[in-house]
Homo-oligomer: A and B are copies of this chain.
Amino acid sequence: MNPSTALLTDHYELTMIEAALESGHADRPCVFEAFARRLPDGRRYGVVAGTGRILQALPDFRFGDAELAWLRERDVVDGRTLDWLADYRFTGDIWGYAEGEVYFPGSPLLVVESTFAEGVVLETLVLSILNHDSAVASAASRMTAAAGERPCIEMGSRRTHEESAVAAARAAYVAGFASTSNLEAGRRHGIPTAGTAAHSYTLLHDDERDAFANQLASLGAGTTLLVDTYDVTAAVRLAVELAGPALGAVRLDSGDLLGQAHGVRAQLDALGATGTRIVVTSDLDEHAIAALQSAPVDSYGVGTSVVTGSGHPAAGMVYKLVSRESDAGVMEGVAKASTDKASVGGRKFALRRRGADGLAQAEIIGIDERPSDDGDDRDLLVPLVSRGEVVAPTDVRTAREHHAAARAELPQRALRLSHGDPAIPTTYLDDWS
């Protein structure tokens, strides 16, 4: 049995359940929806990630003896609510965008159909996972698009919380990264792991020659030598002298990467090391990767920017009650009235409208009604949980393939890095029909 995820929850979710139990409204049929009101400033699309992690966390969302004892001791909620929590198990249905799907403002990313109490208590955990993982995947997708065929290696573990690091490696892989430096992500999610060489290793030795010779003796000529600890030109010469033309790669981690890449490539070629690759790794983001598109670089190691969402560390998703049964026993759409935080009431359905060329044209959202398929369209909401049972794949490879296919459907303008509008408009069925 895994550790409980149930206390990864805001205090008020439980007090709201207490009040709803008192008033007799806790069991009202409800629909909750997770969506983003907007994309981060100027982005053309977002990427849904974390869905698999939500589905894996759901069966562990149980209030065990330890959790209940703490809630009782701190008097967070009353005895009736504790009894209800002790029996908690999600028994409703969840629909959602498949992990890896691209999304736009208003896309109904997750639709939770359950009683009020069963659904409201999941809010914090669902949003934590979606907001974090989607922020990373959305940034990572821009990087892999800019990198084209060249592999991106996620190496940002040290720049984010130690468990976020594992989730970030997973989200980056969904969005097309080739590998991660994070070993736990390798073990937990089966993501390929990779590593290069460290400055500390070179500095450990009295001189660079010793360091390179020892690394080659231990790890073989196919290893990656770090050539910017002292003087890059001298280090490249030394590296090929010691390893021969079979040297796997050299890594550049500072300075003017564009100029250095050209210089190092020419030097490697002149030394006969035409197969030796160049890995660059210094503060890269999607813009730096794009600026290196014409440089002789073979792979990109990306750290801080990918794990922190390249300027947007949270995807801005919210989880709102959008429909509930009324006193009269009918389902009614509900929404907060405020102008700056508006939401659209009603149970949503979503379709990606595609042209005959297969390219996406619009995000069509139906309210309380499924939009009709024009023949080339694609349904976006897939069943994730049915009567409490997980019915969708949670693995990262399925999500990665889905992302590649979904991104390939977007019009070319979606991949521009400059600020712009969402690549396709979001259209509510009322407007469209």
Residues of B within 8 A of A21 (CB): 218
Which listed residue (B128, B229, B335, B337) contacts A336, Cβ 8 A? Answer: B229
Asked if residues B155 and A131 are in contact (CB atoms below 8 Å), the reply is no
Asked if residues B160 and A132 are in contact (CB atoms below 8 Å), the reply is yes
> Can you sample 5 A-B contacts with CB below 8 Å?
A8-B163, A13-B195, A14-B195, A25-B204, A128-B159
Residues of B within 8 A of A125 (CB): 162
Chain B nearest CB from A340 CB (Å) reads 5
Asked if residues A206 and B129 are in contact (CB atoms below 8 Å), the reply is no
Residues of B within 8 A of A313 (CB): 160, 308-309, 313
List the interface of chain A (C-beta within 8 A of B).
5, 7-16, 18-23, 25, 28, 30, 32, 57, 67, 70-71, 74, 76, 116, 120, 123-125, 127-129, 131-133, 155, 157-167, 181-184, 186-187, 193-201, 203-206, 210, 214-215, 217-219, 228-231, 253-255, 282, 304, 307-309, 313-314, 319-321, 324, 326-327, 334-341
Asked if residues A186 and B74 are in contact (CB atoms below 8 Å), the reply is yes
A57's nearest neighbour on chain B, judged by CB, is: B162
Q: Quick one: given A160-B164, A324-B204, are A338 and B254 in contact (CB under 8 Å)?
A: yes
Per assembly, the copies of the chain total 2
Asked if residues A205 and B340 are in contact (CB atoms below 8 Å), the reply is no
Residues of B within 8 A of A200 (CB): 16, 32, 116, 120, 123, 320-321
Asked if residues A341 and B9 are in contact (CB atoms below 8 Å), the reply is no
Asked if residues B228 and A338 are in contact (CB atoms below 8 Å), the reply is yes
A167's nearest neighbour on chain B, judged by CB, is: B161
Q: Quick one: given A20-B204, A161-B164, A308-B313, are A255 and B124 in contact (CB under 8 Å)?
A: no
Which listed residue (B182, B206, B215, B314) contacts A159, Cβ 8 A? Answer: B314
Asked if residues A158 and B204 are in contact (CB atoms below 8 Å), the reply is no
Asked if residues A193 and B160 are in contact (CB atoms below 8 Å), the reply is no
Asked if residues A203 and B131 are in contact (CB atoms below 8 Å), the reply is no
Which listed residue (B22, B74, B183, B320) contacts A11, Cβ 8 A? Answer: B183
Chain B nearest CB from A161 CB (Å) reads 4
Q: Across the A-B interface, give the 9 residue pairs with the lowest CB-CB distance, nearest first.
A: A12-B195, A11-B195, A23-B214, A22-B218, A127-B158, A163-B163, A200-B321, A161-B164, A19-B218
A214's nearest neighbour on chain B, judged by CB, is: B23
Asked if residues A127 and B159 are in contact (CB atoms below 8 Å), the reply is yes
**Assembly CA distance A291 to B412 (angstroms):** 43
Asked if residues B336 and A157 are in contact (CB atoms below 8 Å), the reply is no
Asked if residues B336 and A16 are in contact (CB atoms below 8 Å), the reply is no
Q: Quick one: given A162-B125, A254-B341, are A157 and B10 in contact (CB under 8 Å)?
A: yes
Which listed residue (B15, B187, B326) contacts A206, Cβ 8 A? Answer: B326
**Assembly CA distance A123 to B309 (angstroms):** 22
Which listed residue (B166, B206, B231, B321) contacts A8, Cβ 8 A? Answer: B166
**Assembly CA distance A203 to B28 (angstroms):** 12
Which listed residue (B14, B127, B215) contacts A19, Cβ 8 A? Answer: B215
Asked if residues B160 and A19 are in contact (CB atoms below 8 Å), the reply is no
Q: Quick one: given A12-B195, A195-B15, A255-B339, are A131 and B158 in contact (CB under 8 Å)?
A: yes
